[in-house]
Chain A
């Protein structure tokens, strides 16, 4: 494996981070900014996992183990979010 792909991925990560910094100075609605920032973070995480951690070359079952973990964490966040936004205090 040559260093070309990792360097390209690294450049993309740096560019996206610069994009994140630029984004907060644009006159966009808060929801657009938040969604874009979380989306960019997600893309960066995927790039690192796929190319730096070589997940692209691993069996799908391995990704499943990780995705289950991610799904469980997301489930907790979503349901607690639903609770807290309608809590009867």
Chain B
């Protein structure tokens, strides 16, 4: 088996691997690298605030550092570190050989990495984003933030969101479809459960951020006015951003909770108290988390009745966390705890999360929030949750799983010193901020007479203790990787499935497929042996060059686009970058499609409640669920401005938008849906000619739709719609533009299907590929079914 893989040290292996463990390691290493970058920015910020009238950083540089620090930590460190663990350990914990879609998994990683590179690159293009991680618009409009770096920051976010969406789909399908026989949902480990809840939240929350970034970029680059108009403006941004932003807190937190819930039973030698209720609480909190976003908007002037609703939901969302923390504390009470580093970090994380959680309840009160909003109290609160609650637990996870990943034990003495310095440094850093009730966030300096100097100095000392303590983590990893004591499969005597295999695990994870009996006992005997290749039937090497190439193409395309490149000015530097992205993208699409990379779909796996649906179909449907949110938010933005009482007039039906254009396009798309159905039927019945004719008809109709749309766009632009009805034009161009991009993507897929159909593929049992494409195409049709009346008839 090992001979099939490139050597461990091979660059080719790390660049082209699709194996979940290697991708997991890449995620872990990269997120820790971004942790260093974002941490260094934080230390510079704290140095600036050490004394009054600090002179290290200018206001502009300070703002850039604090913004990129926040974005990197929240989006490029916390969740990706958890995704790294999930990559490595979820297949092991559920008895699978890999994730459902290995190449998509590799692409997720490379999109994430290139996104982070783009974010750091933004520093060198005039200015990085500099208005805080919440990117409040219209301050982030081109009028107030004209730098190219900001656009590149938007590109970074798009790459990250693409990565997160692909990962979400992959993990949902993997966990729901690929559990070892007998591994019912109730037997899954806490970490796997936590990740399942997390990826569902990612699936539903991140499209909102994508919609926000698309609108923001359109406002900045194409002159649309969603966020710069009084009808949309800051309130629209607040709604869309925080609709993503608050669930994001739990997206960051849940993996940490799952990790702690796996670590505690191991080190207390007793079952997790109320484990079922912890799972139920996470699900409850996930649901409620989508109803609390308005508590970030108490001082924006929204309806007082609505603020009461958000107060209630915010208090309600704290209740499941009470259950979770009480269960964890109860697990610890009177237990003989083995105080190894993972346990220390887990217990420390619970303690700090309790402080962060309680101070969060203060902010559910409108009266208190009005006073505390925008002060260092809030900074302390969310760092206690996100650093104290999440990062401490995730670091505990690094120590917990280090022996499994490397086959070596870390240095316990260094790890304990790391914990003690981190815990003390953290509290010295953040507790004084609770007392800085009157100091506004995001000010780059302060006068001596404010009296904030003492607490800021203490806080900065804590920051350096905490920051420098993290070096011990890297020293420990580096040293122990080579010099650590070799360990067996289960050095912690833990009960979850990953500890049943060697350390590090073999490429294909399990020699025999584990089965889980009704009393939860794992059985390895008598199962079907895995064939060489371990789940990559046609790619036993686990290598594919196309994921990284495709991610690179996306990076180049977005970098060129956001720095001003178009296909018209392709000889300029941005134009060349954009063109390179297009060319590399086309090549990679062709290569990706041609590569035979079939992941075997085993029978008898535990896949309730999706036994009768294939992995790929479940993946397509899951992806479409995220698309519902994307278009829901875009239509919501349209309704927001259209129904706003400040919108004095909206053009009457038929005066701006030509009903004939809209109706023609509706008939075209509806007909194209029928031709796709015919394509599926003819493929199933084995008619090659029928399939080709149906696909060609769909291609022609889709092209006709886009042609009509282009004519309409031009007519409206020439007619001066932006001058006469800027808000109408904005909502129309953005919503139908995003829809048009979806149609274009569908046409590209049809092109690919046609090439293969001419070769005689998809006939008989192979029709499912056409069917899966049909799911997407019909969805695009459904969206238009709503856009037609909204823009043309109402």
Are the CB atoms of A69 and B628 closer together than 8 Å? yes
Q: Which of B49-57, B107-115, B348-356, B663-671 contacts A (4 or more CB under 8 A)?
A: B663-671
Asked if A1 is at the interface of the complex by the 8 Å CB criterion, the answer is: yes
- Alpha-carbon separation in the docked complex, A85 to B659 (Å): 29
B147 to chain A, nearest CB (A): 30
Residue of A nearest to B660 (CB): A21
Are the CB atoms of B794 and A34 closer together than 8 Å? yes
Are the CB atoms of A41 and B786 closer together than 8 Å? yes
Asked if A3 is at the interface of the complex by the 8 Å CB criterion, the answer is: yes
For residues 524 through 582 of chain B, which have their beta carbon under 8 Å from a beta carbon of chain A?
A: none
Asked if B191 is at the interface of the complex by the 8 Å CB criterion, the answer is: no
- Alpha-carbon separation in the docked complex, A60 to B611 (Å): 12
Asked if B306 is at the interface of the complex by the 8 Å CB criterion, the answer is: yes
Are the CB atoms of A83 and B294 closer together than 8 Å? yes
Interface residue tally on A, bucketed by range: 35 or more
Residue of B nearest to A40 (CB): B789
Asked if A28 is at the interface of the complex by the 8 Å CB criterion, the answer is: no
**Counting chain A CB atoms within 10 Å of each CB, which of B612, B659, B674, B775 scores highest?**
B674
Are the CB atoms of A76 and B633 closer together than 8 Å? yes
Select B663's contact among A17, A54, A66, beta carbons within 8 Å.
A17
For residues 748 through 794 of chain B, which have their beta carbon under 8 Å from a beta carbon of chain A?
A: 771, 774-775, 778-779, 781-782, 785-786, 788-789, 793-794
Asked if A29 is at the interface of the complex by the 8 Å CB criterion, the answer is: no
- Alpha-carbon separation in the docked complex, A75 to B287 (Å): 12
Are the CB atoms of B636 and A87 closer together than 8 Å? no
Chain A residues with Cβ below 8 Å from B678 are 3, 6
Asked if B284 is at the interface of the complex by the 8 Å CB criterion, the answer is: no
Are the CB atoms of B303 and A52 closer together than 8 Å? no
Asked if B689 is at the interface of the complex by the 8 Å CB criterion, the answer is: no
Asked if B175 is at the interface of the complex by the 8 Å CB criterion, the answer is: no
- Alpha-carbon separation in the docked complex, A77 to B641 (Å): 12
Are the CB atoms of B239 and A17 closer together than 8 Å? no
User: How would you classify the secondary structure of chain A's contact residues: helix, strand, loop or mixed?
Assistant: helix
For residues 40 through 62 of chain A, which have their beta carbon under 8 Å from a beta carbon of chain B?
A: 40-41, 44-45, 48-49, 52-54, 58-62
Residue of B nearest to A14 (CB): B670
Are the CB atoms of B667 and A62 closer together than 8 Å? no
- Alpha-carbon separation in the docked complex, A65 to B781 (Å): 20
Are the CB atoms of B243 and A76 closer together than 8 Å? yes
Chain A residues with Cβ below 8 Å from B785 are 41, 44-45, 48
Asked, given contacts A49-B782, A76-B239, whether A59 binds B628 with beta carbons under 8 Å apart, the answer is no
Chain B residues with Cβ below 8 Å from A41 are 785-786, 788-789
- Alpha-carbon separation in the docked complex, A58 to B610 (Å): 9
Are the CB atoms of B789 and A37 closer together than 8 Å? yes
- Alpha-carbon separation in the docked complex, A74 to B204 (Å): 12
Chain B residues with Cβ below 8 Å from A69 are 203-204, 625-626, 628-629, 632
Asked if B621 is at the interface of the complex by the 8 Å CB criterion, the answer is: yes
- Alpha-carbon separation in the docked complex, A11 to B56 (Å): 71
- Alpha-carbon separation in the docked complex, A70 to B786 (Å): 14
B748 to chain A, nearest CB (A): 20
- Alpha-carbon separation in the docked complex, A21 to B610 (Å): 41
Chain A residues with Cβ below 8 Å from B309 are 79
Are the CB atoms of A72 and B793 closer together than 8 Å? no
Are the CB atoms of A37 and B794 closer together than 8 Å? yes
Chain A residues with Cβ below 8 Å from B305 are 82, 86
A66 to chain B, nearest CB (A): 5
A11 to chain B, nearest CB (A): 10
Are the CB atoms of B204 and A72 closer together than 8 Å? yes
Are the CB atoms of B778 and A82 closer together than 8 Å? no
Chain A residues with Cβ below 8 Å from B659 are 21, 24
A83 to chain B, nearest CB (A): 4
A58 to chain B, nearest CB (A): 6
Interface residue tally on B, bucketed by range: 35 or more
Asked, given contacts A62-B610, A85-B643, whether A10 binds B306 with beta carbons under 8 Å apart, the answer is no
Chain A residues with Cβ below 8 Å from B711 are none
Asked if B624 is at the interface of the complex by the 8 Å CB criterion, the answer is: yes
B680 to chain A, nearest CB (A): 9
- Alpha-carbon separation in the docked complex, A66 to B775 (Å): 13
Residue of A nearest to B608 (CB): A61
- Alpha-carbon separation in the docked complex, A41 to B673 (Å): 16
Residue of A nearest to B625 (CB): A69
- Alpha-carbon separation in the docked complex, A10 to B239 (Å): 38
Chain B residues with Cβ below 8 Å from A86 are 302-303, 305-306
Select A37's contact among B632, B671, B793, beta carbons within 8 Å.
B793
Chain B residues with Cβ below 8 Å from A32 are none
**Counting chain B CB atoms within 10 Å of each CB, which of A7, A58, A60, A77 scores highest?**
A77
Residue of B nearest to A37 (CB): B789
A21 to chain B, nearest CB (A): 6
Residue of A nearest to B612 (CB): A59
Are the CB atoms of A76 and B677 closer together than 8 Å? no
Asked, given contacts A3-B681, A65-B621, A69-B626, whether A24 binds B793 with beta carbons under 8 Å apart, the answer is yes
B686 to chain A, nearest CB (A): 14
Are the CB atoms of A24 and B653 closer together than 8 Å? yes
- Alpha-carbon separation in the docked complex, A3 to B673 (Å): 13
- Alpha-carbon separation in the docked complex, A62 to B677 (Å): 20
Select B302's contact among A7, A17, A83, beta carbons within 8 Å.
A83
**Counting chain B CB atoms within 10 Å of each CB, which of A21, A61, A83 scores highest?**
A83
Are the CB atoms of B306 and A82 closer together than 8 Å? yes
Chain A residues with Cβ below 8 Å from B676 are 52
Are the CB atoms of B644 and A84 closer together than 8 Å? yes
- Alpha-carbon separation in the docked complex, A74 to B778 (Å): 21
Are the CB atoms of B673 and A81 closer together than 8 Å? no
Select A70's contact among B632, B681, B774, beta carbons within 8 Å.
B632
Are the CB atoms of B640 and A80 closer together than 8 Å? yes
- Alpha-carbon separation in the docked complex, A74 to B636 (Å): 8
Select B670's contact among A10, A65, A68, A75, beta carbons within 8 Å.
A10
**Counting chain B CB atoms within 10 Å of each CB, which of A21, A61, A69 scores highest?**
A69
Asked if A88 is at the interface of the complex by the 8 Å CB criterion, the answer is: yes
Chain B residues with Cβ below 8 Å from A17 are 663, 666-667, 670, 788
- Alpha-carbon separation in the docked complex, A77 to B635 (Å): 8
- Alpha-carbon separation in the docked complex, A85 to B301 (Å): 11
- Alpha-carbon separation in the docked complex, A55 to B64 (Å): 48
B266 to chain A, nearest CB (A): 32
Asked if B507 is at the interface of the complex by the 8 Å CB criterion, the answer is: no
B683 to chain A, nearest CB (A): 12
Residue of A nearest to B236 (CB): A80
Chain A residues with Cβ below 8 Å from B788 are 17, 20, 41
Chain A residues with Cβ below 8 Å from B633 are 73, 76
- Alpha-carbon separation in the docked complex, A31 to B667 (Å): 25
For residues 676 through 722 of chain B, which have their beta carbon under 8 Å from a beta carbon of chain A?
A: 676-678, 681, 684
Residue of A nearest to B771 (CB): A54
B640 to chain A, nearest CB (A): 6
- Alpha-carbon separation in the docked complex, A53 to B780 (Å): 12
Are the CB atoms of A68 and B775 closer together than 8 Å? no
State the 8 A-B residue pairs at the shortest beta-carbon distance, nearest first.
Answer: A73-B632, A86-B303, A61-B609, A69-B628, A69-B625, A37-B789, A83-B302, A77-B636
13 A–B contacts, CB within 8 A, in A order: A7-B674, A10-B670, A13-B670, A17-B670, A41-B789, A52-B677, A53-B778, A54-B771, A59-B609, A62-B618, A66-B625, A69-B626, A72-B632
Query: Told that A48-B778, A61-B610, A68-B625 touch, could you supply 9 new A-B pairs with CB distance under 8 A?
Result: A3-B677, A3-B678, A52-B677, A59-B611, A65-B621, A68-B204, A72-B290, A82-B306, A88-B302
